[in-house]
Amino acid sequence: MHSSVIDRHLQSFVESCRRHGLKITPQRVAVYRALLESDQHPTADAMFQTVKLTYPHISFDTVNRTLLTFAEIGLVDVVEVFGGPKRFDPDTGDHHHLHCVACGRIIDFIHEGYNGLDVPDAIASKFKVISKRVVLKGLCDKCTGGRP
C-alpha cells in the first residue's frame, strides 16, 4: 500500500477515534497500521505477532482489546467463523466470503449479483438489518489440487 494511501487512512482513523471519544495512543496507531497491511482476516494472535515487529513492547491484551474496540466503532468487522478464535476484517465494504472447509482460509470476493440483496418484507418489518453477506462453504483451489 502506498504511503499516501496509508496517510489518508490514518487521518480517517484519527477522526473516527475523536468522534467516539477514544484517545490516540501509539499502540492503537500501531494496530491500525498493521491492519492496513494485514493479510486477510487475521486472528488477534496473528495481529499481535505482526504488531510486535514494529512495536516490540506491546502486550497481547492491548492488541486484542484494541481490535474489539475497533470493531465496536466500525473500524473493522468481526467475521463469521465456524469455531475457533475470532477473526477480524479490515475491509468493512460490501463483499462476500468463501470458507474453505479443508484449510480454513476465508477468501473475499465481490459479485454484482450479490450486492443490494433484497431483504424479504417479513424480515424487514421486524428486524433492523445492519449488514448482508453471502457465505459460501467449499474447497479452495489449493485443497482440491486443481480437481473441480
Partner DNA sequence: GTGATTGCAAACCTTTTGCACGCCA
Partner DNA sequence: TGGCGTGCAAAAGGTTTGCAATCAC
Stretch that binds DNA, among 4-12, 51-59, 91-99, 136-144 (CB under 7 A): 51-59
Question: Counting contacts by CB under 7 A, is residue 25 touching DNA?
Answer: yes
Q: Report the greatest alpha carbon distance in the chain.
A: 52
- Please report how close the Cβ of residue 88 comes to DNA at its closest, in angstroms: 10
CA angle 144, 38, 28 (to 5 degrees): 150
How is residue 82 written as a grid cell? Answer: 465456524
Site for DNA in 105-144 (CB under 7 A): none
Which of the choices DNA, a copy of itself, none does residue 132 contact, using the CB cut-off of 5 to 8 A by kind? a copy of itself
**CA distances in angstroms from 69 to 23, 59, 64, 66, listed in the order given:** 12, 15, 9, 5
Q: Does 138 bind a copy of itself (CB under 8 A)?
A: yes
Question: Does residue 19 belong to the site contacting DNA (CB under 7 A)?
Answer: no
Give CB contacts under 8 A, 24+ apart, made by 79-85: 79/41, 79/106, 80/133, 80/135, 85/43, 85/44, 85/45
Number of amino acids touching a copy of itself (CB under 8 A): 40
Q: Which does 22 bind (CB under 5 to 8 A by kind): DNA, a copy of itself, none?
A: DNA
Among 80, 85, 92, 101, binds DNA (CB under 7 A): 85
User: Does 84 interact with DNA (rule: CB under 7 A)?
Assistant: yes
Nearest CA among 41, 31, 19, 35 for reference residue 99: 41
Binding site for DNA (CB under 7 A): 21-28, 43-45, 57-62, 64-66, 68, 83-86
